[in-house]
Amino acid sequence: MANFARWVPAFAGMTAMWVGGVAPGARAIGLRRWIPAFAGITRLAGAALIAAPLAAAPIAITNANVMTGAGTTIEGATVVVDGGRIRSVGSGPAPAGATVIDGTGRTVTPGLVVGMSDLGLDEIEGVGQANDTAAKKSPFSASLDVVPALNPRDSEIAVARTSGVTRAVVAPSAARDIFAGQGALIRLADGQDIVTRGRAFQLVELGEAGAENAGGSRTASFALFRNALAEAQRFASGRGREGNRENIYPRADTEALVPVVEGRQPLVVHAERASDILSVLALKADFPRLRLVLFGAREGWTVADRIAAAHVPVITSAIDDLPDAFETLASTRSNVGRMLAAGVVVGLGTSGGESTNQPRNVTQFAGNLVAQGRLPSGVGVTRDQALSLITKNPAEIFGMADTGVIAPGKRADLVVWDGDPLEVTSAPVAVLIDGVPQPLANRQTELRDRYRDLRHDTLPLEYRP
C-alpha cells in the first residue's frame, strides 16, 4: 500500500479539475475524467486508506434526475453527501468546498439492494472448494453462520458493484436438513470490511426440497419444523438447558433458534406452493412472535390477500414463470404485480435458478416487470415501484431502513447511471457506498480491456500479479 504522502497529491490533482456551473470555491470532477482518476488512486493507495479521506470531504452530484426509491423523481436536483450520509436533496448549486460530480443528463438512484443472494459464498458453483453455500456433511444446521465463510475478494462482488449493487442479503442453502443456517447483510464496498450484520436471519427450506430433506414428505418437514421451534421455546424457558435426550436437534441448533421464536431474528421461509404458504402463515397461531419473511412464493399471487393480512413480506424472483415443478404450476410473471396490488411488501432477490442467480441482473428483472403491465392481461408495476423492489423494499424487509432511499439522513449509497437504470443498455458511471466513491473495475472489465484491441497476430499478454 502506498503511503499517505503519495496519495494526497493524486487526490488534490483529481479534485482540481473544473466543470462549469458550480458555485465558486467548489471542486468539480467531470464524470468521464473522474472515473479513471479515481481508479488510479485506488491502485495507488488501496481501499482501506482512501475510505476515511473521501468520506470526510463533502460530495455533490449536481443537475441530475434523482429517482428517490420512495416513489418520486426530482429533475435537475443536487444531492449533497457528507460524513457518509445524504445531507440534502434539492435544487441549487453545490456548496462551497464540495467535490462535484456533474450529473447532467444522468439519473441517480439509491444503491441497489439484492434481497437474497450467495455473494461472497460461491466463487465457482461447480467447484466444491470455492462453494460454501451448503454444508452437506455437517452435523449442524440452524447454528451454521455464513460470516466466517464470506470472501470479500469474491470476483462476483466486484461484478455486482460495477452493476450498481451496494448492499445484499447473503443466505446459505439447505443441505441435509430443512434449516440452512443464519445469513448476513453485507455492503459491497471495495476492501475487506463488508459485513454489516451477521446472524441477520434464519433460513428454512420447506416445499419439495424441504420435504426431501426431512424424509420424503411435507408431513415430515412440517412436523420437524414445528418440533424444532418447540424445542427452542423449551430451551428459552430454561426447561431444556440441562439437556434432553428426546431432542432431535443438537443444543447448538436449538440455541440458534431461540432468537427466532422470541422474535429477535427474522425467519425466512422458502415456500413456493400456495398451500405451503398458508401452512407457514398458520404457524403464527402457535408461535405468535415469529417474524416471517416468505422467499420464493411463486404461487403467492393466488393467496396474496392472506399474505397481506398477515403482514408478511415476500422476497421473490421477477421472471420465474414456468411450471417447472409441481409446486410452481401457477407461476406467472404477473405474480409480483398482483401481490403488490393486494398490499404485500415485495422485494426482489436471486433464487438460485439458472436464469436468476446473477445479482447484477436485478435492474433487468425489475424492468421486465414494468413491461409486463403492457402485455394483454398482464399485471406489472410502475417504474417507481420497480425501483423500490430493488432498493427500498428489500432494505426495509431486512431492517436496513437507513438505506435504499435518497433522502436526508440516509446512508449515502448512490448510483449515477448513464441512461435509464431499468434498461439493459444502461450502466453506472459512479457508485458511492457510505459516501465513498467505488472503483468500477472487475475481472470482466479487465479481461475486456486486455484483449479488446489485440491484433490477430499478437499473442495474449502474460498475466501479471
pTM: 0.85
Range ranked top by mean pLDDT from 44-48, 289-293, 461-465:
289-293
pLDDT per residue as tens digits for the range 222-266: 999 999 999 999 999 987 665 556 789 999 999 999 999 999 999
* Average pLDDT across the chain, whole number: 86
Return the C-alpha cell found at 245.
Answer: 435426550
**Rounded average pLDDT over 58-79:** 96
Pick the closest to residue 392 from 133, 113, 175, 58 (CA basis): 113
Q: d(Cα 283, Cα 261) in Å, to the nearest integer?
A: 11
| φ, ψ at 108 (rounded to 5°) | -110, 130
* Identical fold between 4-110+414-451 and 112-397: no
**Rounded average pLDDT over 430-457:** 89
pLDDT in the model for residue 56: 57
Residue with more model confidence, 460 or 374: 374
Contact, 258 vs 234, CB < 8 A?
Answer: no
Considering the domain 112-397, what is its CATH architecture?
Alpha-Beta Barrel (3.20)
> Which band of pLDDT confidence, cut at 50, 70 and 90, is reported for residue 46?
very low
pLDDT in the model for residue 10: 37
Which SS3 state, helix, strand or coil, does residue 295 take?
Answer: strand
284 has pLDDT over 90: yes
Q: d(Cα 317, Cα 336) in Å, to the nearest integer?
A: 8
pLDDT per residue as tens digits for the range 170-205: 999 999 999 999 999 999 999 999 999 999 999 999
Domain 4-110+414-451 in CATH 2.30.40.10: yes
pLDDT in the model for residue 7: 37
Paired strand residues for 431: 415
pLDDT in the model for residue 239: 72
First CA to last CA across the chain, in angstroms? Answer: 15
The bridge status of strand 428-433 relative to strand 112-117 is unpaired
Q: In what order do the strands lie in the sheet with 292-296?
A: 112-117, 165-170, 179-187, 195-205, 267-271, 292-296, 314-316, 346-348
Contact, 226 vs 283, CB < 8 A?
Answer: yes
Paired strand residues for 29: 101
pLDDT in the model for residue 8: 36
Where in the chain are the domains?
Answer: 4-110+414-451, 112-397
Cα distances from 439 to residues 187, 267, 361, 431, in angstroms, run: 14, 35, 19, 8
**Rounded average pLDDT over 408-412:** 98
